[in-house]
């Protein structure tokens, strides 16, 4: 049976999380690697920005700094996510590694199917939307306020948001499954402090694992279930492993030269930094 590497759940600070994902992705661009699934959490609350977002226009940077919420820019596109009580996954693979292809939408569909199978094992009935349902106007920079094609809803409310980047024959997709969330905190981070109406709109559009199962959830159990979903849908086996020495070295370099720098996190590619 085909085997892939899985890096077990661990919490890191936001900058290291992004550096790890990109290090694995860059290593795969050189070819010859089996796909890698990683589960992780966040040591500190953080807003992750999509690659193309303007930090000053789309989030309240002063509020985030005052509340100790870190700001990090992802190598992937999409909209802002307030991380804290969520389970984040990443998958890195070559574009031509079965069952994947150069078709971005199809790749989303395949990975979404794995998440659906895993969440079903946790007792959550998730549907994949064929077409986006539009956005919540009062928090339009918030990833979970909008659903796109092949994203995941429970009763019409979004529970998982994902983003992808691909180049040089490889792709990175990562996303977050909401374990819990605070709509007022989301509004504040997005620059709408005290927007009770906006919070109500978000609450009507977004749900969480804890709400769906009606109580606490073990992150370890959630990881096991989603990992089993990947194995069952893709007919392969996940073998636990860590970062290679090359990935560790690249992670450290990306941390120092990119992800701990405001030039990257607040301004992104417009600064000329990055790879």
Backbone dihedral angles phi then psi of residue 122, each to the nearest 5 degrees: -95, 5
What residues are paired with 127 via a beta bridge? 153
Q: Which two tokens stand for residue 12?
A: 């890191």
Provide the strand spans (E) within the chain: 3-12, 36-42, 46-49, 70-73, 81-83, 86-94, 127-128, 134-135, 146-147, 152-154, 157-167, 170-178, 237-240
Catalytic residue among 61, 64, 114, 143: 143
Backbone dihedral angles phi then psi of residue 204, each to the nearest 5 degrees: -75, -20
Q: Which two tokens stand for residue 40?
A: 């992780």
Q: Which two tokens stand for residue 154?
A: 């429970």
50 secondary structure, DSSP code: P
> 143 catalytic, yes or no?
yes
Residues in the chain: 275
User: Cα–Cα distance between 10 and 59 in angstroms, integer?
Assistant: 27
First to last CA, the chain: 35
Distances (CA, A) of 68 to 5, 51, 147, 175, 217: 34, 22, 28, 22, 26
User: Cα–Cα distance between 120 and 32 in angstroms, integer?
Assistant: 33
| H/E segment holding residue 130 | none
Active site residues: 143
């Amino acid at each position: 049976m085909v085997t892939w590497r899985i890096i077990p759940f661990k919490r890191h600070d936001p900058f290291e999380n992004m550096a790890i994902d990109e290090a694995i992705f860059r290593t795969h661009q050189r070819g010859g690697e089996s796909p890698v699934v990683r589960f992780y959490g966040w040591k500190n609350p953080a807003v992750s920005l999509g690659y193309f977002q303007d930090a000053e226009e789309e989030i309240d940077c002063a509020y985030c700094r005052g509340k100790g919420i870190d700001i990090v820019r992802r190598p992937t596109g999409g909209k802002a996510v307030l991380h804290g009580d969520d389970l984040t996954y990443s998958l890195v693979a070559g574009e031509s590694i079965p069952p994947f292809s150069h078709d971005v939408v199809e790749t989303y569909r395949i990975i979404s199917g794995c998440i659906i199978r895993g969440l079903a094992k946790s007792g959550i009935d998730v549907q994949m939307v064929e077409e986006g349902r539009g956005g919540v106007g009062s928090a339009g920079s918030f990833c979970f306020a909008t659903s796109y094609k092949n994203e995941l809803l429970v009763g019409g409310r979004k529970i998982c948001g994902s983003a992808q980047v691909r180049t040089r024959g490889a792709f990175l997709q990562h996303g977050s499954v909401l374990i819990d969330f605070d709509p007022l905190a989301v509004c504040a981070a997005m620059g709408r402090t005290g927007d009770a109406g906006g919070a109500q709109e978000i609450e009507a559009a977004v749900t969480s694992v804890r709400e769906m199962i009606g109580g606490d959830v073990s992150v370890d159990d959630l990881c096991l279930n989603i990992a089993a979903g990947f194995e069952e849908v893709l007919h392969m086996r996940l073998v636990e492993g860590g970062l290679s020495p090359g990935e560790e070295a690249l992670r450290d370099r990306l941390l120092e030269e990119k992800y701990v720098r405001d030039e990257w996190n607040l301004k992104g590619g417009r600064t000329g930094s990055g790879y």
